[in-house]
Amino acid sequence: MLIARAKDGKFESGGLREEFEYRHFGVEEATGRKYSAHVIRAAPNGEPPIRHHVHPDCEFLLVYVLKGWVKFWYEGRGEQKLAKGDVHMLPAGIKHAVTGWSKNLEMIEITHPADYQSIELTDRQIAALGT
């Protein structure tokens, strides 16, 4: 069992993307790294580099927007803007990119497994997608 209290949590840099800060709940440790769950927020000076990428071995990735908005580009769907209360769930292998966000962005991200690859696409691969 895990209870993570907001008053005990703190946002830290050093996550998957340097333009964000992360507040981990301890789910990774509690599940033997089978799952990850954390709040992500925009870093104070974080600028959105557009990195098209894919997570081939991430079986489940869910994002729930708590505050603000975030724009994603998805293979086969184009750009979509998600706002407070919106959710996306990505199947393994879908190519995507974070293309912009509000300064007050906060979102919950849940993944399975906790550790997965993030492979950036080459310019040639991006051009082939027609973005």
Domains defined for the chain, CATH in brackets: 12-129 (2.60.120.10)
The proportion of the chain whose per-residue pLDDT surpasses 90, expressed as a percent, equals 65
- Identity (one letter) of the amino acid at 59? E
Model pTM?
Answer: 0.87
Q: What is the mean pLDDT of residues 9-37?
A: 90
Distance of CA 67 to the CA centre of its chain: 14
Please report, for residues 1, 41, 67, 102, 116, the alpha-carbon distance to residue 70 in angstroms, rounded to integers and kept in the order given.
Answer: 32, 10, 9, 7, 22
Residue 50 phi, psi (nearest 5): -85, 110
Q: Could you report the per-residue pLDDT of 49-94, keeping only the tens digit for each?
A: 778 899 999 999 999 999 999 999 999 999 999 999 999 999 888 9
